[in-house]
Structure 1
Amino acid sequence: MIELQNFKLLGIALAIGLLIGLERGWHTRDKGEGMRIAGLRTHGLIALLGGLWGILAVQTGILLMGFAFLSLTAVLLIAYSKSLNKFEDYSITSIIASLITFTLGALTAFGHTMLASATAVVITLLLGFKPLLHGWVNKLEQRELEATLKLLLISVVMLPILPNRSFDPWDVFNPYHIWLLVVLIAGVAYLGYFAIKIGGNRHGPVLTGIFGGLGSSTAVTLNLSRLSKTYPGMQNALSAGILTACATLFVRTLLLSSALNPALFRELFPPLSIMGVLTYLLAFLLWRTAREFQGQQEVMLDNPFQLRMALKFGAFLVAVLFLSKLLKIYFGDTSTYLLAAASGIADVDPITISMSQMSKDGLELSVAARAILIAVAVNSAVKSVIASVIGDRNLGLRVGAVLAIAVVAGLMFS
């Protein structure tokens, strides 16, 4: 059995090496024999070598892998130095790819076949997308690079170190949750910037709505509404983006509640599906009528990292959450519908999660479903107000009218 298992592991290692070698061989297919450091066969052998050394290391000790890795590195460096005498190619990508191939082959011998296989696919894609990635780098502006680094700073560096607990008796001022809102809003602004830059005036807002709506449709509404005052001729395109995000919220709410309590699906499917389909349809019609903006001046995009705006809106959401907690304290948990309306002012997800959980612990399904729909309706009204106050008047009318039609139609089937 052990021998059969080893043969299986070596087979996986060989397949990994051939996969990476296929891309490397295709990349250097125009070079003759002896002009390549490693191609299809060599990468297959390197992965197989890693697997064999890994099997030996399992029996003798892990230090053996270090010796094998250093030996292979020396051989590759010698081959690389010799190749420089034939042609000036200072790229070390092939050497790094060979060392990774050896490592992945060794990982299979230690039983990490899924990790090694998935990593091999990612590495192959990364190597194959060289022209595309280099094209992106060449088009990247200084402010866009700085915005990317700043967004990574507030999300990857700062967010994980914040304490994930409340510091007040109302369970509102949680530094982690508050900063997560800031990161989410800043992230949607960042996404919208590149969506409009890549997709243009007509397609960019809709792309922002599709992807931004998965995180925060309110943040999408805020960001696209701001653009409408600067570019009043883009109301249809921007309205389509906002409404796409709102429609995505309806679908997301249905999926989230059904995942937490499948019994809610029957209660929520008719109203939320009607809301979603109608909003998507009307957003599409608005997008179709946005052709007149193609000939106009392109949107002059500002800084993709909108931290100040994110901080202001994050503070607003915290204030609304605090108000929701006060309503809960003074009116009690029995006022489920009032609490749902208050929570829907800021976000639909919290009340969706709480109602789904409570419906499994004794709360009637009809009551839980009605509370979720109230939160959705209130949240839609809030986004209509945001579009009217922050955005252009015509944008507010478009967004408000579509959401009103969709919500009323959906509630009629609840």
Structure 2
Amino acid sequence: MDHIEVFQRLGVALAIGLLVGVERGWQEREIRAGGRAAGIRTFGLTGFLGGIAGTLQSMTGPFLPATIAVLLGLVYIAGKWQETEENHDYGITTVVAALVVFGLGVLAAVGDVVTAAAGAVATTVILAARHSLHGFLRGLTWVELRSALLLLAMTVIALPLLPDRALDPWGALNPYSLWLLTITIAALSFAGYIAIRLMGSGRGVLLAGAAGGLVSSTALTLSFARYSAEAPEGARHLAAGAGIAGALSYARVLVIASALSFTMLVPLASALVPAIIGFVAAGLFAAWRSQTATEAPEIDLKNPFELTTVISFAALLGIISLVSKMAIDYVGASALFVVAAISGLVDVDAITLSTARLVGSTIDVTTAADVILIAVAVNTITKVVLAFTAGRREYAMALGEASAVAVVLGGMGYFTARSFLPA
């Protein structure tokens, strides 16, 4: 290792400590000077010390870094004890963070620098998210925690035990593959669910629409429709939020399909990207036209990790996969259009997953894109119908206008691009 590389690695080790030290110093900025166990300088030096210990390891062996780590931990514990006597703060986060910084400093010196830097960023994010994480835990219900733990157990323990082969003559029902896809979709939905829980009751309609679109744009559209009957003056504003949710649901379809079959990216993007732009533009226009801004209501969303929700989706995915394969074998690929239209009345994710899995082996990319876009269009129309049946006319009309703009722009983009794409 030459001198330049040693300097670079020690610089990264120092930067790691300073980064975490900035967060720690900011959190304890109200404490008097000298009254806290560690601040930006101490953490910076801790990371630098880790880098030095790691650099010397090649000459002294692992005994020196281990000894320094033990002594450093004792020093931080003593300092934290003194701080506790004065401030009655019994948390040990600072001590643990210091040991993590020292370890990352050692890693920066003798291991992968990028990994060490990424670890520092992750550590800082976790430390900075203290209030958000505590607030989330306070709002977490036992049912949600139980569902997540049960699902983790079924995934980590049960998934490896599931047979990774098709159990039916058509090759559609692979238990391992179906369950893995189900958990992946649940995790994606859970990200939006967590975002809504963290935002609380003060969230804005457009922001709630964006988060709700990751979970279930249909459920959000219905919740906003019902609320529009109670707050008619904010109907257009609520429709704007539902439009944003529709745009996020389109983006979700594009990501899921492209992740399973990258060849789907271009044909789907040619339709969905213009549709997303149309939905967002129409939604923002509806919000601008709305004379009254309203606060987002409580959205009736089920926990995506609730066992019944996951099993129901797994069953739906299995049924659609089986029906799709049987329809192709007995009728032809054109039968998938009917399956897509029916599936779109209920859910888009299942038909997207099942169709993307067939690309290249059973159907071509163009057919798969047509199938998914039919399901998306039917689902969009379904949400407009729900808006008319459950919400005020102003809400339904505004959402219908935004949906029409999205569908028209998506159709124009798809058929224009199709003339240039290979068959």
Counterpart of 2:140 (choices 140, 144, 147) is: 144
Match of 2:9 in 1: 9
In 2: Cα distance, 1:294 partner to 1:342 partner: 35
Partner of 2:210: 210
Query: Which deviates more from structure 2 when the two are superposed, residues 373-382 or residues 394-403?
Result: 394-403
What are the superposed Cα offsets for residues 225-253 of structure 1, whole Å, 9 maximum, x if unpaired?
Answer: 14634662355444333322222344455
**Partners of 2:84 and 2:371 in 1: how far apart?**
71
Structure 2 Cα separation of the partners of residues 195 and 129 of structure 1: 13
For each residue in 1:193-238, what CA deviation from the matched residue of structure 2 results, as whole angstroms up to 9, or x when unmatched?
Answer: 5556231xxx23x32432343x45xx22124414634662355444
SS in 1 for 2:360: helix
| Mapped contact 1:183–1:310 kept (Cα < 8 A) | no
TM-score normalised to the size of structure 1?
0.73
Partners of 2:30 and 2:137 lie apart in 1 by 34
The percent identity for this pair of structures is 28
Match of 2:352 in 1: 349
Give the alignment of 1:154-165 within 5 angstroms: 156-163=152-159, 165=164
The answer for the alignment partner of 1:46 in structure 2 is 46
Q: Distance in 1 between matches of 2:119 and 2:138?
A: 31
In structure 2, what is the Cα distance between the partners aligned to 1:332 and 1:117? 53
**CA-to-aligned-CA distance 1:327-377 (integer Å, 9 cap, x gap):** 23321346565565566554263367357x539x994x7656544433432
Moved more, 378-387 or 72-81: 378-387
Write the mapping of 1:11-410 to structure 2, written as runs, cut at 5 A. Answer: 11-25=11-25, 34-82=34-82, 88-128=88-128, 133=131, 137=134, 144-146=140-142, 149-150=145-146, 152-153=148-149, 156-163=152-159, 165=164, 168-169=167-168, 171-172=172-173, 174-178=178-182, 188=192, 191-192=195-196, 194-195=198-199, 197-199=201-203, 203-204=204-205, 206-213=206-213, 215=214, 219-226=216-223, 228-229=225-226, 232-234=229-231, 235-251=235-251, 265=266, 271-288=271-288, 291-292=291-292, 294=294, 299=297, 305=303, 307=306, 310=309, 314=313, 319-333=319-333, 337-338=337-338, 341=341, 344=344, 346-347=347-348, 349-350=352-353, 353-354=356-357, 357-358=359-360, 363=364, 369-384=369-384, 391-392=390-391, 394=393, 399-400=399-400, 402-404=402-404, 406-408=406-408, 410=410
Rate the CA distance shift 1:123–1:321 in 2: closer, same or farther, 3 A. same
SS in structure 2 opposite 1:10?
A: helix
Structure 2 Cα separation of the partners of residues 312 and 26 of structure 1 = 45
CA contact (8 A) 1:340 1:351 kept: no
Post-superposition offset of 1:12: 1.8
Moved more, 145-154 or 276-285: 145-154
* Cα displacement (A) at 1:300: 5.9
Q: Structure 1 pair 98/167, CA: closer, same or farther in 2 (3 Å)?
A: same
Task: Report if aligned partners of 1:10, 1:108 keep a CA contact under 8 Å in 2.
Answer: yes
Partners of 1:278 and 1:5 in 2: CA distance: 51
Instruction: Note if contact 2:209-2:244 (Cα within 8 Å) is conserved in structure 1.
Output: yes
384 and 323 in structure 1: CA distance in 2 versus 1, 3 angstrom threshold: farther
1:406, CA displacement in angstroms? 3.4
TM-score (normalizing by structure 2): 0.72
Distance in 2, matches of 1:412 and 1:380, equals 17
Instruction: Give the corresponding residue for 2:418.
Output: none
1-side partners of 2:82 and 2:331: how far apart? 80
Structure 2 distance, partners of 1:154, 1:288, is 45
Count of residues in correspondence between the two structures: 396
Structure 2 Cα separation of the partners of residues 325 and 103 of structure 1: 53
RMSD: 4.4
Contact 1:12 1:113 in 2 (8 A): yes
Structure-2 change in CA distance of 1:255 and 1:290 (3 Å): same
AA in 2 matched with 1:330: Y
1:259-295 superposed Cα distances (whole Å, 9 cap, x missing partner):
8557973x55654444333322332344345554749
> Which one-letter code corresponds to 2:245 in the other structure?
A
Instruction: Return the letter of the residue paired with 2:352.
Output: D
Report if the CA contact (8 A) 1:151-1:186 is conserved: no
Work out the CA distance in 1 between the residues paired with 2:300 and 2:249: 27
* Structure 2: tracts of 5 or more residues without a match: 416-423
Deviation at 1:42, TM superposition (A): 2.9
Structure 1's 89 and 59: CA in aligned 2 closer, same or farther, altered over 3 A? same
Change (3 A) 1:142 1:358: same
* Rounded Cα–Cα distance in structure 1 between residues aligned with 2:237 and 2:54: 57
